[in-house]
Amino acid sequence: MRNMLIVEDHPLVAEATKALFMTMAVGHIEICRNAEEAVALLQARDDWYRLWLDVGLPGTDGLSLVRYVHKLGWAERAAVITASDNLQWRVDVQAMGFLGYVLKTASVEEFSFALKEILEGRPYFDKQPHDRQPTHLTQRQTEILCLLHDGLCTKDIARRLKLSPGTVDNHISALISALRANDRTHAVAIGMKCGYVRQHDTRLMELP
- Tell me which DSSP letter residue 182 carries: S
145-169: pLDDT as tens digits: 999 998 999 999 999 999 999 899 9
- Whole-angstrom CA distances from 74 to 33, 47, 80, 108, 134 are 20, 11, 13, 27, 19
Measure the CA–CA gap between 69 and 78, rounded to whole angstroms. Answer: 8
Residues across the chain: 208
Question: Which whole number is the average pLDDT over 71-94?
Answer: 89
Look at residue 127 in the predicted model and tell me its pLDDT.
64
The span from the CA of 169 to the CA of 157, in Å, is 10
Answer with the residue of higher pLDDT: 131 or 137: 137
Per DSSP, the three-state class of 107 is: coil
DSSP string, 2-52: -EEEEE-S-HHHHHHHHHHHHTTT-S-EEEESSHHHHHHHHHH---EEEEE
Whether the CA torsion 70, 74, 77, 78 is positive or negative: it is negative
pTM given for the model: 0.65
pLDDT band, residue 133 (cuts 50/70/90):
low
